[in-house]
Chains A and B, each alone.
Chain A
Amino acid sequence: MARISLMEKGVSYVILCAVGILLFAPFIYMLSIAFASDATTVKVAFTFIPLEFTFENFTKVFTNYHLGTYLKNSVIITFWTVIGSVASASFVSYGFARLKAKGSGIIFVILLSTMMIPGEVTMVPQFIIYKELGWVNTFLPLIVPSFFAGAYNVFLIRQFIMAIPRSLDEAAMIDGMGHFGIYSKIILPMTFPILSAIAIFSFSYNWGNFMGPLIYINDPEKTPLALGVQLISTASGGQMPPWNMVMVASLFLTIPMIIVYMLGQRFVYEANISGGSSGIK
């Protein structure tokens, strides 16, 4: 992709902008409501620029609602889940990609099967387990499972490891390296881009996770932001939800994910340029 003609460049920009506008349009709506005053949001009619523009909403969510607490809880939960998911999935996927044992094929099918069972039917027994463990109303049911390697992540990293030439492992083995060495010195650095992608995804997933906290957390002090947004929208009882507050809180929910992606994508797309470029496909 070295040389690009002027024509090709122009066409690319037109396409990128056109699709970009389509994707971005709904956000304008979100922003517009976030800056609208209470009086304006009551009139549901959509205006691109709010009739009465206000910044006050951004301080009000902290004073009138518990946005600060929600944010703190989200940070704690997300920090641990990202570490847990990346570390465990990376380790486990080496086993599935490179090692064979009696029954390893069937075990891989079982791993994939865990993605195929609708979570709704295992929700109740799962809740009973966490209740027996005394974990309800703590962060533990939200954090601990991520240390046990999720099937989606394991499958994804496995795909990338399988594209790395086995000859690299074999050469290392001849040099007397064991499986721990091969995993940590050869495979781990080469899968770094995809691990970064998983870290970004797992940040987004856990930062935005609504179902988990809804089931396991009922103490307002321990509520993370994704559930907090919902609490704000029902704060006024049976009345109209304070849409502008909901949208401001939604911005706080969305913006960290965008920042993490902006910072993280560098590692996803450029990390392996300096390393062995023939590695990941």
Chain B
Amino acid sequence: MKNKDGRWFYLFISPWLIGFIALTLGPILFSIYMSFTDWDLFQSANFIGIDNYKNLLTDDPIFWKSLWNTFYYSFIAVPLGMSISLWIAYYLNKKLKGITFFRVLYYLPSVVPVVAASLLFIQLFAPTEGLINQGLALFGIQGPAWLLDANWVKLALVVMSLWGVGGGVVLLLAGMKGIPPELYEASAIDGASSKQSFFSITFPMLTPVIFFNLVTGIIGALQTFAQVFIVTSGGPDNASQMVVPYLFQNAFRFYKMGYASAIAWVLFIIILLLTLIVFRSSALWVHYEEGKENG
């Protein structure tokens, strides 16, 4: 039985496996090798052992700063984005007149290409004439200079990331729609409030989707690129520099492709470790049908 399953497993995953071996694996191995060289994109590469990694970890303050900024940004943006999208999905799931209109409205920002959104937010964050500070001024609040202020620039990027929570909301809603209505009816009979039924039914049933949003959210946030590259260029004074934009700078501006590859693999190992920790923790809180005795 097991043995036969094995053959079926490989048959079903074959579209991915073929693509991986033909188009992805080669470039991955190539970039691992290049991380041990001084490749500059144009001349042939010389093997220099672990020098890139040594320089990166012991002699590059900008790398450490960008790593710190990336963590700072991710650990605010991901949990905040997930809570807000769960909260929005909860409201969008109500049977209200015109709810379709709101569902479209909330999804809208996530379809704007990140390049266009970035250009838009540069204008919105402008210190005096920007819409955000003009809005705050209506309440008598003097807004910060956002992108020009080292203390606020990372939070400005967080605000920008919240604008696009609609994609995650779609997945949560799809999950909510799949929860059998009988469960809610049963809990209503037991006299549960809508808050109670959210925490005892909706949330646990959604954990597979929440888990997905968490894992892909962490991976995506730690790889933030276009926003930083277009909106702040890492400034002011590297206060918003992050790992992937720094990698890109090294590769395509300073032509230090070998060094950039080493940055990529250090980041990869960090992301992999974090993801594996989250996966290990999933046994404690993610609810799959199989785990239940009536499954």
Binding site for B on A (CB under 8 A): 1-2, 4, 8-9, 12-13, 15-16, 19-20, 23-27, 29-30, 45-46, 88, 91-92, 94-96, 99-102, 104, 107, 109-118, 120-122, 124-126, 129, 145, 147-149, 151-152, 154-156, 159-160, 162-167, 179, 183, 193-194, 197, 200-201, 204, 208, 210, 226, 229-230, 250, 253-254, 257-258, 261-262, 265, 268-270, 272-273, 277-281
> Considering only CB atoms, which chain B residue lies closest to A183 in the complex?
B12
| From B17, B96, B111, contact of A9 by CB (8 A) | B96
CA distance A269 to B107 in the complex (A): 14
- Between B8, B95, B173, the greatest number of chain A beta carbons within 10 A of the residue's beta carbon is seen for B8
CA distance A13 to B88 in the complex (A): 12
Binding site for A on B (CB under 8 A): 2, 5-13, 15-20, 22-24, 26-28, 30-31, 34, 41, 88, 91-96, 100, 102-113, 115-117, 120-121, 123-124, 129, 131, 163, 167, 170-171, 173-175, 177-182, 184-185, 188, 194, 205-206, 208-209, 211-212, 215-216, 219, 223, 225, 243-244, 247-248, 251-252, 257, 260-261, 264, 267-268, 271-272, 275-276, 287-290, 295
Q: A100-B2, A261-B104, A281-B289 are in contact. Are A149 and B19 (CB under 8 A)?
A: yes
> Considering only CB atoms, which chain B residue lies closest to A21 in the complex?
B105
- Between B15, B212, B252, the greatest number of chain A beta carbons within 10 A of the residue's beta carbon is seen for B15
Query: Min CB distance, A9 to chain B, in Å?
Result: 6
Query: Min CB distance, A270 to chain B, in Å?
Result: 7
> Considering only CB atoms, which chain A residue lies closest to B99 in the complex?
A16
Task: Please tell me if the beta carbons of B5 and A99 are within 8 angstroms of each other in the complex.
Answer: yes
Q: A210-B113, A278-B180 are in contact. Are A155 and B23 (CB under 8 A)?
A: no
Task: Please tell me if the beta carbons of B225 and A120 are within 8 angstroms of each other in the complex.
Answer: yes
CA distance A148 to B252 in the complex (A): 29
| From A29, A125, A148, A262, contact of B123 by CB (8 A) | A29
Task: Please tell me if the beta carbons of B120 and A30 are within 8 angstroms of each other in the complex.
Answer: yes
- Between B19, B93, B223, B225, the greatest number of chain A beta carbons within 10 A of the residue's beta carbon is seen for B19
Q: Find chain A residues with CB under 8 A from B88 CB.
A: 19
Task: Please tell me if the beta carbons of B12 and A94 are within 8 angstroms of each other in the complex.
Answer: yes
| From B22, B104, B163, B175, contact of A280 by CB (8 A) | B175
Q: Find chain B residues with CB under 8 A from A279 CB.
A: 178
Task: Please tell me if the beta carbons of B289 and A165 are within 8 angstroms of each other in the complex.
Answer: yes
Q: A29-B120, A95-B9, A121-B31 are in contact. Are A258 and B111 (CB under 8 A)?
A: yes
Query: Min CB distance, A149 to chain B, in Å?
Result: 4
CA distance A8 to B193 in the complex (A): 12
Task: Please tell me if the beta carbons of B27 and A24 are within 8 angstroms of each other in the complex.
Answer: no
Task: Please tell me if the beta carbons of B178 and A280 are within 8 angstroms of each other in the complex.
Answer: yes
Task: Please tell me if the beta carbons of B15 and A4 are within 8 angstroms of each other in the complex.
Answer: no
| From B18, B171, B248, contact of A148 by CB (8 A) | B18
Task: Please tell me if the beta carbons of A12 and B94 are within 8 angstroms of each other in the complex.
Answer: yes
CA distance A204 to B116 in the complex (A): 14
Q: Find chain B residues with CB under 8 A from A258 CB.
A: 104, 107-108, 111
Q: Find chain B residues with CB under 8 A from A94 CB.
A: 12
Q: Find chain B residues with CB under 8 A from A126 CB.
A: 23, 27
CA distance A166 to B251 in the complex (A): 48
Q: A100-B9, A162-B208, A200-B170 are in contact. Are A281 and B16 (CB under 8 A)?
A: no
Query: Min CB distance, A166 to chain B, in Å?
Result: 6
Task: Please tell me if the beta carbons of B9 and A269 are within 8 angstroms of each other in the complex.
Answer: no
CA distance A66 to B178 in the complex (A): 44
Q: A95-B11, A125-B27, A262-B104 are in contact. Are A162 and B289 (CB under 8 A)?
A: yes
Query: Min CB distance, A168 to chain B, in Å?
Result: 10
CA distance A81 to B124 in the complex (A): 34
CA distance A174 to B153 in the complex (A): 60
Q: Find chain A residues with CB under 8 A from B41 CB.
A: 124
Task: Please tell me if the beta carbons of B129 and A121 are within 8 angstroms of each other in the complex.
Answer: no
Task: Please tell me if the beta carbons of A193 and B180 are within 8 angstroms of each other in the complex.
Answer: no
Q: Find chain B residues with CB under 8 A from A262 CB.
A: 100, 104
Identify 11 residue pairs between A and B in the complex whose beta-carbon atoms are under 8 Å apart, listed by A's number: A2-B185, A16-B91, A20-B106, A95-B12, A99-B9, A111-B16, A114-B24, A118-B264, A120-B260, A210-B115, A253-B113
Q: Find chain A residues with CB under 8 A from B194 CB.
A: 1, 8
Task: Please tell me if the beta carbons of B12 and A102 are within 8 angstroms of each other in the complex.
Answer: no
